[in-house]
Amino acid sequence: MLERYIQEIRRREKVIRIFPNMNSAERLVGAICGETHEGWSTGRRYLNMDEYFDWKTAQQEDKPTVEKQAKP
């Protein structure tokens, strides 16, 4: 993920060429981070974990308890 940030900064840096001061460079990095944060805050996820949690709950309910296993 860090590599993606660096690539995006370099791509935009080529357009600007020279930063007049450190604050302008920080604003560029902040803008890129802000755009990424907006993408995360929309709720779009790579994986939907709801199905996993449902499966995990079903697995735990199906496991026999220690008391049931101890009875012959």
C-alpha distance from residue 31 to each of 10, 21, 39, 42, 60 (Å): 13, 16, 13, 17, 45
Res 39: pLDDT: 60
Within-domain flag for 71: no
Give the pLDDT mean for 63-68: 61
- How many structural domains are present in the chain? 1
Within-domain flag for 62: no
Please check whether residue 12 is in contact with residue 32, taking contact to mean a CB–CB distance below 8 angstroms: yes
Does the pLDDT of residue 5 top 60, yes or no?
yes
pTM (global) more than 0.75: no
Q: How confident is the model at residue 29 (pLDDT cuts 50, 70, 90)?
A: confident
Within-domain flag for 63: no
Res 46: pLDDT: 64
Please check whether residue 32 is in contact with residue 9, taking contact to mean a CB–CB distance below 8 angstroms: yes
Res 72: pLDDT: 56
- In which domain, by residue range, is 8 found? 1-40
Within-domain flag for 5: yes
Within-domain flag for 33: yes
